[in-house]
Amino acid sequence: MVSVIIATRNRLALLPRALQSVYAQDYPNLEILVLDDASDDGSSDYIRSCHPRVRSFRFERNRGPAAARNLLMREARGEYIVGIDDDACFLNTDAISKVIARVEREPQLAVAQFRVIQLGQEMTSRPDGECYLNTFSTCGHCLRKAVLRETGDYPSYVLRQGEEPDLAIRLLDHGYYIMYFPGAVVSHDISEQGRDFKLWHTLGPRNLLLRSWVNEPFPWYMLSTANSVFKCLIKGTRGGTLPYVLRGFGAAVKELPHVRSMRRPVSSKAMRVHFALRQKTVTEVTEIQKLYESPPTFLSILLSRGS
């Protein structure tokens, strides 16, 4: 069984398209789970009345997509979890069949990131074929559920925006692979419904810092902090969002008393694998195996980033 999960909030106009694209999939054994994160547009009533085959859940208080996905993943009965956003839809009817066939061939493959097209353009620059990644996006992905017993689920400190890299670094730490898989394609319209862009520009810097402080060992978190602060300040200055960036930094600092209890640093080896995958494109399984066995040294990564 494959469990398809969708977290939604106040996007009743778009949710039917996402669901119909799931119904159109040719994979024979699917369950569909949808969580309504405190919508006030009638989403829950619509799901219950129009989609009886969907297992529906609801938060009475807005708790954010990370909490929603955590609940859905815990409730999922499938061996694999396929997630798409409520403002996204599958573009090929064999997407799930293809991705399941692919992950079944490679036991260490924990996540397959789908090809995502936004407003007619690629979300990110990727090669034409498969390649291994250091993180993924929940907009369109397939996750092997069993790995969560080792890594845990999405972090509680992330209210929204950027929970994937936290789980991704823990996957790398446990020796699992993350792959870009262009055989499954989703369209993502990035709806403005339910998006608070002021909050988006605040939580981004906050979550970047907290992710480093919670997950990274010394001295990695020091370098990541300096890098994140520098890049966020530059981006905020150029984009006119500097007040929100500074507010995000302040929000992260306020969490410092709790960081020690939340800390679960990964190994230095995982960090080296993470940065190596940022710096080079790895397409062959023998190459990724070699990288995990002997990642570049801290000094070589530092020098290459400096250059």
**How many Å apart are CA 36 and CA 103, to the nearest integer?**
29
Per domain, the residue ranges of the chain are: 2-188, 197-262, 268-306
What CATH number does the domain located at 2-188 have? 3.90.550.10
**CB contact at 8 A, 43 and 35:** no
Query: Residue 27: which residues within 8 A CB-CB, separation 6 or more?
Result: 2, 96, 97, 100
Q: How far apart (Å, rounded) are the C-alpha atoms in residues 117 and 123?
A: 6
Asked whether the predicted pLDDT for residue 226 surpasses 70, the reply is: yes
How does pLDDT run across 153-194, given as a tens digit for each residue? 999 888 777 899 999 999 999 999 999 999 999 999 865 655
User: What are the backbone angles phi and psi of residue 117, rounded to the nearest 5°?
Assistant: -115, 125
| Tens-place pLDDT, residues 41-56 | 999 999 999 999 999 9
Find where tokens 């319209």 sit.
189
Q: Which residues contact 220 (CB under 8 A, 6 or more apart)?
A: 212, 268, 271
**pLDDT recorded at residue 154:** 94
Q: How far apart are CA 171 and CA 151, in angstroms?
A: 6
List pLDDT tens digits, range 121-160: 555 556 679 999 999 999 999 999 999 999 999 998 887 7
Over residues 2-12, mean pLDDT: 96
Alpha carbon of 152 to those of 1, 132, 142, 264: distances in Å? 21, 22, 16, 11
Distances (CA, A) of 281 to 24, 118, 153, 181: 33, 22, 27, 14
Alpha-carbon gap, residue 99 to 78, rounded angstroms: 14
pLDDT of residue 16: 97
Nearest CA to 245 out of 254, 253, 255, 237 is that of 237
pLDDT of residue 28: 94
For residue 219, whether the previous peptide bond is cis, meaning omega lies within 30 degrees of 0, is yes
Query: For residue 307, what pLDDT is reported?
Result: 43
DSSP symbol at 31: E
The pTM for the full model equals 0.92
Question: In the prediction, which pLDDT does 122 show?
Answer: 59
**AA letter at 167:** L
